[in-house]
Amino acid sequence: MPKKELNILLKARKICKSFGNFVANQNIDISIAKGQIHALLGENGAGKSTLVKIFYGVLQPDSGSIEINNQKISITSPNIARKNGIGMVFQHFSLFPALTVAENILIALDNKIKFSEVVNKITKLSKEWELFIDPLKLVSELSVGEKQRVEIIRCLMQNPNLLIMDEPTSVLTPQEIKNLFKILKRLASSGCSILYISHKLEEIIELADKVTILKSGKSIETIDAKKTTTNFLAEKMVGKKITQLKKNIKTNSKNIAFEVKNLNKQKDHEFGISLTNINLQVNYGEILGVAGIAGNGQVELMEILSGEINCKNNDQILLDKLPIGKANINERRKLGIETIPEERTFHATVPNLTLSENTFLTYFFKYSNTKSWITNLLNNPQNSLDESKTIVKNNDVRCPETNPLASQLSGGNLQKFILGRSLANNPKVAIFSQPTWGVDIGAATAIRQKLLDLSQSGKAVILISQDLEEIFELSDKICVINEGFLSEIFDVREITATDVGLLMGGKNRENQKMDPIK
């Protein structure tokens, strides 16, 4: 008979879970005390999400046991998790855009309850916790921050004992993060435990009581979050010293490389974002960071900067002062503009094609032009075999075999390949969207260094990222995108993270922003 631990809410022993050959969780032990904020720290792919999905019943462990209040239980579905007082806010949300807020919340409640009652309760809770939301609005009409409020209210409706939050701050402005932390601390002091997943070190030190560090599916250590430093956590998380970026002092040129003027673009589907009066310019030798929370028009902006969609007027985009707004994506490539979209698979690459075929994807036009008609006719992926090998070699892309399918590469290696494919064309202007999103720290550092090197060699770089740290670390100038509007451009030395945060929340467009219901 193991001794009873009265203040322990959830205790997991030797949790194992694998997907095919990939081991996501290996003998993980963790215990969460009542009323504590317990952080789960680890890199992408360390197994954090898998572990909490097991706690919430979305996944079943291969082996291991879970106890709640010293009672062994098996959480075979989210319903059972909720019955045991566990609530979860998902990283990518588990909401239904075509349903209203109240309908979304209703279907996650296990007890019988009338629709009107749900609406009343939502109104009450949203006042009590300052999570303002209109229960009768469609979720598709909400901003990302509001969607998170819906998820939190949905959990609060059940009076949870344990609230799991999977990377909640990646979609929030610094101000919204502060509010969220206030709510979480208030929840914890009212007795609800919080399991908080993040890879952001400062957050964890600010918020958490305890922190468990995961690395490659194993739990490394659980330590007191109040008595540690970010450096210590970082080294534990990565397992080695992190190489610092080399940022040389450089003299920015005054030559404008790339310019966008008065660009407007109506959204082409209901869930899209309209771009409104976009103006930006970037000089040679400079990195322009475009900050903003995902879903504020970055995808639409990227489409139009890359040339996947052409501008209405040719002079809305200028390269070296020459109008190119109507040039398509391949014409822009030939002119020296390289872009990398946010989605690595299915957009930047085709997963079921080989690397040489994926090289051919953006290189094919190089092999036609001057040659004879028969080579033109038989222009096929064989042509890019050598180039793809060079890309793999020069960019340290680790492949399981020669010329593998894109789907066989890890996220970081695939991104190195994509970056290498673009940079091998020696572009004048490079436009990258979320280049380090979801890759491990090693690859992220390498990619960031590549961007710095690129600008130091005199190229113009536009970096669209939702990672504010990354923006400040790399950029010379910063602007912010919010609901399709682009702020003016600031020098990085003249603006603080707080200011950027306010812009991310839409503060310079008071009249555009909808007031939360009172």
Partner 1 sequence: MITFIPRDKVSKNWIIIAPILSIFFTIFFGLLIFTFLGYNPLETLYQIFVSPFSRIDRISDILVKACPLIIIGTGLMLCFKSNVWNIGAEGQFIMGALLAGFIALSFPNIETKFFLLITILAGFVGGALWAFIPAILKTKLNVNEILVSLMLVYVAMLFIDFIVRGPLRDPMSFGFPLSKPYPEGALINKIPFPGIGFLGQLHYGILFVFLLVPVSWIFVNKTLGGFKINVLGSAPQAAKFAGFKRNSITITVLLLSGGLAGVAGVIEVSANIGQLQPEVSFDYGFTAIIVAFLGRLSPVGILFAGIIIATVKLGADNAQMTMGIPKVVTGLFEGILLFFLLTGETLQKYKIKWSEGKK
Partner 2 sequence: MEALILTIIATSIPLLLAAIGELIAEKSGILNLGVEGMMLSGAVGALGAVLWLENPYYGIIAGALSGVLMASIFSAFTINFMTNQVATGLGLTIFATGLTGLAGAPLVGKTIPSLPKIEIFLLSDIPLFGNILFKQDFVAYLSIAIIIFTSLFLKYSKSGIILRAVGDDHQSAHSVGYPVKKIRWYATCFGGMCAGIGGAYIPLVLTPHWSEGMTAGRGWIALALVVFASWIPWRIIVGALIFGGITIAQLVGQARGWAIPSQLLSMMPYIATIIALTMISGRLSKNNSVVPSSLGKPFFGSQ
By the criterion CB under 8 A, which residues form the site for partner 2?
A: 19, 53, 56-59, 77-79, 81-82, 90, 93-99, 103-104, 106-108, 115, 138, 140, 269-271
Q: At what angle do helices 230-238 and 441-456 cross, to 10 degrees?
A: 110
Tell me the C-alpha to C-alpha distance, in Å, between residue 140 and each of 97, 291, 386, 511.
Answer: 4, 23, 46, 21
**Which CB sits closer to partner 2, 79 or 512?**
79
Residues 371-410: x where in contact with partner 1 by CB under 8 A, - otherwise, as a string: ------xxxxxx---------------------xx-xx--
Classify 339 as helix, strand or coil: strand
Q: Name the residue among 376, 356, 351 with its Cα closest to residue 366.
A: 376
Q: Which residues of 10-46 are buried (b: 16+ CB within 10 A; e: fewer)?
A: bbbbebbbeeeeebbbbebebbbbbbbbbbbbbbbbb
Which residues, in sequence order, are bridge partners of residue 211? 39, 223
Distance of closest approach, residue 157 Cβ to partner 2, in angstroms: 13
Query: Do 496 and 480 touch, CB atoms closer than 8 A?
Result: no
Residues 68-87: x where in contact with partner 1 by CB under 8 A, - otherwise, as a string: ------x-x-----------
Q: Binding partner of residue 106 among partner 2, partner 1, none, CB under 5 to 8 Å per kind? A: partner 2
Contact status: 308 vs partner 1 (CB under 8 A): yes
Contact status: 155 vs partner 1 (CB under 8 A): no
Distance of closest approach, residue 94 Cβ to partner 2, in angstroms: 4
To which residue do tokens 């504010």 refer?
A: 468
Contact status: 20 vs partner 1 (CB under 8 A): yes
Q: Binding partner of residue 93 among partner 1, partner 2, none, CB under 5 to 8 Å per kind? A: partner 2
Contact status: 341 vs partner 1 (CB under 8 A): yes
**Which CB sits closer to partner 2, 271 or 373?**
271
Q: Name the residue among 57, 55, 58, 77 with its Cα closest to residue 66.
A: 55
* Contacts for 236 with CB less than 8 Å, ≥ 6 apart: 213, 215, 220, 221
Position 367: which residue type?
A: Y
**Which CB sits closer to partner 2, 24 or 480?**
24
Scan residues 401-460 and list those touching partner 1 (CB under 8 A).
404-405, 407-408
Q: Name the residue among 302, 288, 341 with its Cα closest to residue 451.
A: 288
Q: Binding partner of residue 90 among partner 1, partner 2, none, CB under 5 to 8 Å per kind? A: partner 2
Q: Binding partner of residue 107 among partner 2, partner 1, none, CB under 5 to 8 Å per kind? A: partner 2
Beta strand 317-319 with 337-340 is unpaired
Distance of closest approach, residue 95 Cβ to partner 2, in angstroms: 6
Q: Binding partner of residue 328 among partner 1, partner 2, none, CB under 5 to 8 Å per kind? A: partner 1
Q: Binding partner of residue 59 among partner 1, partner 2, none, CB under 5 to 8 Å per kind? A: partner 2
Q: Binding partner of residue 343 among partner 2, partner 1, none, CB under 5 to 8 Å per kind? A: partner 1
Classify 80 as helix, strand or coil: helix
Contact status: 353 vs partner 1 (CB under 8 A): yes
Give the largest Cα separation in the chain, rounded.
83
Distance of closest approach, residue 90 Cβ to partner 2, in angstroms: 6
C-alpha–C-alpha distance, residues 307 and 311, integer Å: 8
* Contacts for 217 with CB less than 8 Å, ≥ 6 apart: 23, 24, 25, 26, 28, 46, 47, 50
Q: Binding partner of residue 140 among partner 2, partner 1, none, CB under 5 to 8 Å per kind? A: partner 2
**Which CB sits closer to partner 2, 110 or 453?**
110
